[in-house]
Structures are given as C-alpha cells and as structure tokens.
Amino acid sequence: MRVGAGSTGRRVAQVALLVGVLAGCSGTAEEGDSEKSASPSASARTSGAGGASASSGGTIGAAGSACELPVTFDTAKNWKAEAVEAPLRQGPVTLACEIDAKPAGSIGFLRVWAAKPGDADARSVLKAFVAGEDGASKEKYGTFTSDGLSGVEVEYLYTSELLEETKKERALAVVTPDGPVVVHLGGLDTEEHEEMLPAYELAKRTLRAA
C-alpha cells in the first residue's frame, strides 16, 4: 500500500479497526439504492491496478485442501487460506474460508461464503448477499462463465460510518449441486482493493465445481 507521511496515522487507525469492519455481516442496503444494469468495467474484469496479473500459489476447495468447498479455484501466490469454523452469516450464505493477502503484502481478504442447496439462482443469492452488508450502494451487476459454471458478479461501494470512508468492493456468485457460493473481495481501502484485484480475477478465471 503506498501512502504519504501525512496519512500514516490514519492508516494505522484503520488497520486497528480492520477486523471488525471487514466482517460486514449484518444489516441491509440503504433505502433508495438501486441495481445498475451495466456490467463491471472491462479493466476491472481483466486485471488489477496497472494491468498486473496474479501467479497461482495453489488450489483450494478440494478435499484435503485448506478449505473444502463446493468449488475449487486457484489462489494467488503467497496468499494464505484458512477455513472458518465460527458461524458468520451475510444474507443467505455463511463464511467458510478466508484467504489472507497480508503474506503477499496487501491488507485484505478474499472470502468465500457458502450455503446448502436451494432454489435461488446466482443473481438472487448475490443480491441478498449485498443487501446484507449495511452501507453498500451503487451496485453494478454483470455475468460471467468459468469452466462450465455460469455466474453473476457485482461491483459496489461500501461506506463505513466507523472509518468515515467509502471504498470499492466486489463479489461473485455461482450455484453448484452442493449449494451456492459467493466469493467476495474487500480491502482496507479502494487502493488496496485495486491492488488485490488480480487475485480475485485469478479465482474467477479458474473457478469450477468441486
């Protein structure tokens, strides 16, 4: 993360509050928010800041991996995956896995949420997930395919009253025979989010049913 000397104190305070803020597990979208029909920007879909791409550091999701999930995908090099046992719910899904960017030099997580099989489609699951994050607004939805899976993704803004800051976030959803899955990328701020985008794009590009 590149910051000037004048903002160092604020960044330290943000890091101290990061764990509580990134969870974002309750509440509803602000009244008046509306869904945008436009898909995420082309630059965001293909790369992170500066057009960077992520190298694979391994695959998670299969039996015996750090997180056993209804899907598998590649994680970026040096990112550390860890299964989550404590129940943390947002919308219709429960947190199952956190992939930490700190070992790779960024502050944030790629989080995987899952639920039992049901009748909801990927768009409905994703919209309910975003609605479960209090402070979300300006959603832009689009579609994608990966190795036979058809999914929906969203870019949106998240405003934290605690940090008094608005930042970009992004998520995707697919439905598998074992249930729906949401993959979410947050970050300390928009700059960190953009720097971590290649890891999100790698996960989306290699996503497949387990």
| CB of 98 closer than 8 Å to CB of 80 | no
Q: For residue 64, give the DSSP letter.
A: T
pLDDT in tens, 119-174: 999 999 999 999 999 999 999 999 999 998 999 999 999 998 887 899 999 999 99
Global pTM value: 0.76
Residue 52: the pLDDT is 65
Tell me which residues of the chain have a pLDDT lower than 50: 1-50
Residue 148: the pLDDT is 87
Give me the CATH code for the 5-209 domain, please: 3.40.1000.10
CA distance 47 to 199: 9
Backbone angles phi, psi at 110, to 5 degrees: -100, 115
Residue with tokens 């993704």: 153
Backbone angles phi, psi at 24, to 5 degrees: 45, 50
Position 128, amino acid: A
Domain ranges of the chain: 5-209
Backbone angles phi, psi at 177, to 5 degrees: -60, -25
Residue 181: the pLDDT is 98
DSSP string, 111-136: EEEE----S--HHHHHHHHHHTSTTE
CA distance 93 to 114: 5
CA distance 188 to 22: 8
Closest CA to 101 of 208, 199, 209, 7: 199
User: Can you name the residues that pair with 150 across neighbouring β-strands?
Assistant: 145
